[in-house]
């Protein structure tokens, strides 16, 4: 068939194809707010520390990266220093605990939501998003009040006579985890709910009918069916949790530093911008690696489960 040369550009355009400039705002946005900052961070991470510590000195240096693993003594000698590796491991540990706790809490919540009457469901899902109405900073501060020695939890435990002395919860790793779980729980509930809502509960009836008891139905029928939601939730919780700043800063009392707190310190009190930039690049690389691992696992799981691919989730 001959190409319709006589047709105007408008006529030749197919559905879903727009002019190149209709995507321009998005491109500008991405360049200005995502790509440029990343380039700045990347470039800064290969420069030297400025004299007074604010900004950078335009001189190529690999020191920011060697500082990750080695500390330089005043005499100039170098020795291996696991401090920052420890902090990265710490961050991973907190992110893993947060994701797992969120997952364990979210599955029953999401299934409960998905089994409500449709007209009540909308209101309940709306309720899950209520925390987003207020700033995270304020919500995290409120946990200082809840968890402190004279707070309502200690007050209640003392009131009913379980304890005499208040339990120190604030400024402990426990408080950090509570804050992280609280912050990220909706990000786990919502994708799992989205999967569970599509789940055909007649499949559960069929499994009961074939002789499966409750736990078996959950394990062999329900969980495989909501796996896409679980994977999406894990990504949405694990990655931001890895780089979270507020909960460890305000509730952990700086004692339970995560990588974001160290980065913030480099740009603030420590006045070492290149090192802060290098830590940021490291966090970025780790995040990408984790995403790749999730993608591979999800692809394998989805192939095993014969369901829609990972691409459908994002």
Partner 1 sequence: MCLTSTISEEPLDASAPALSVRDVTKTFQTPEGGQISALDSVSLDIADGSFMVLLGPSGCGKTTLLRCIAGLESPDSGRIDLRGQRIDNMPVWRRRVNTVFQSYALFPHMTVAQNIAFGLQMDKVPGDIIKRKVGESLDMVHLSGLGSRKPSQLSGGQQQRVALARALAKEPEVLLLDEPLSALDLKLRRGMQSELKRLQRETSITFVLVTHDQDEAMAMGDQVAVFNDGRIVQVGEPREVYLRPCSRFVADFIGEANVLTGALDTYGLVIESVGFVPRDRLMPDTQAALGQVHVAVRPENVSLQLDPVGSAKIIDVSYVGGDMRVEAVAAASGTAVNAAVSIVSRVPSQGVQPPRIGDRVSVSFAEGSLTVVAD
Chain residues binding partner 1 by CB under 8 A are 117, 200, 202-203, 205-213, 216, 220-221, 224-225, 305-307
Task: Give me the least distance between CB of 105 and partner 1, in Å please.
Answer: 24
- In this complex, which beta carbon is closest to partner 1, that of residue 200 or of residue 311? 200
Task: Give me the least distance between CB of 205 and partner 1, in Å please.
Answer: 5
Task: Give me the least distance between CB of 104 and partner 1, in Å please.
Answer: 22
- In this complex, which beta carbon is closest to partner 1, that of residue 105 or of residue 212? 212
Task: Give me the least distance between CB of 126 and partner 1, in Å please.
Answer: 20
- In this complex, which beta carbon is closest to partner 1, that of residue 149 or of residue 200? 200
Task: Give me the least distance between CB of 302 and partner 1, in Å please.
Answer: 9
- In this complex, which beta carbon is closest to partner 1, that of residue 222 or of residue 259? 222
- In this complex, which beta carbon is closest to partner 1, that of residue 165 or of residue 209? 209
DSSP the chain: ----TTS-HHHHPPTT---GGGGHHHHHHHIIIIIHHHHHHHHHTTSEEPSSSSSEESS--SHHHHHHHEEE-TTS-EEE-THHHHHHHHHHHHHHHHHHHHHHHHHHHHHHHHTS-HHHHHHHHHHHTGGGGS-HHHHHHHHHHHHSTTSHHHHHHHHTTS-SSPP--TTSHHHHHHHHHHHHHHHHHHHHHHHHHHS-HHHHHHHHHTT--HHHHIIIIIHHHTHHHHHHHHHHHHHHHHT--HIIIIISTTSS--HHHHHHHHHTTT--HHHHHHHHHHHHHHHHHHHHHHHHHHHHHHHHHT---GGGG-
Task: Give me the least distance between CB of 253 and partner 1, in Å please.
Answer: 46
- In this complex, which beta carbon is closest to partner 1, that of residue 78 or of residue 300? 300
């Amino acid at each position: 068939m001959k190409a319709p040369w006589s047709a105007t550009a408008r006529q030749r355009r197919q559905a879903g194809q727009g002019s190149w400039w209709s995507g321009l705002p998005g491109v500008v946005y991405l360049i200005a707010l995502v790509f440029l900052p990343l380039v700045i961070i990347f470039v800064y991470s290969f420069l030297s520390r400025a004299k007074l510590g604010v900004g950078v000195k335009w001189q190529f240096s690999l020191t920011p990266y060697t500082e990750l693993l080695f500390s330089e003594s005043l005499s100039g000698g170098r020795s291996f220093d696991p401090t920052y590796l420890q902090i990265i491991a710490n961050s991973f540990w907190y992110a893993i605990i947060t994701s797992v706790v969120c997952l364990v809490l979210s599955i029953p919540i999401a299934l409960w939501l998905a089994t409500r009457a449709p007209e009540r469901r909308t209101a309940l899902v709306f309720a899950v998003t209520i925390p987003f109405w207020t700033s995270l900073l304020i919500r995290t501060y409120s946990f200082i009040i809840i968890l402190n020695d004279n707070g309502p939890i200690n007050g209640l435990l003392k009131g009913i006579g379980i304890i005499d002395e208040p339990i120190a919860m604030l400024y402990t790793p426990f408080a950090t985890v509570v804050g992280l779980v609280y912050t990220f729980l909706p990000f786990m509930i919502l994708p799992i709910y989205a999967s569970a809502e599509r789940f055909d509960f007649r499949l559960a009836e069929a499994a009961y009918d074939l002789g499966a008891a409750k736990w078996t139905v959950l394990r062999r029928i329900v969980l495989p069916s909501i796996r896409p939601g679980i994977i999406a939730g894990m990504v949405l919780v694990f990655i931001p949790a890895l780089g979270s700043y507020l909960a460890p800063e305000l509730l952990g009392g700086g004692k339970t530093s995560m990588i974001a707190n160290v980065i913030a310190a480099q740009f603030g009190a420590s006045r070492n911008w290149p090192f802060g930039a290098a830590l940021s690049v490291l966090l970025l690389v780790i995040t990408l690696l984790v995403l790749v691992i999730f993608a591979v696992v999800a692809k394998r799981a989805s192939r095993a489960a014969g369901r829609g691919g990972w691409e459908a989730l994002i």
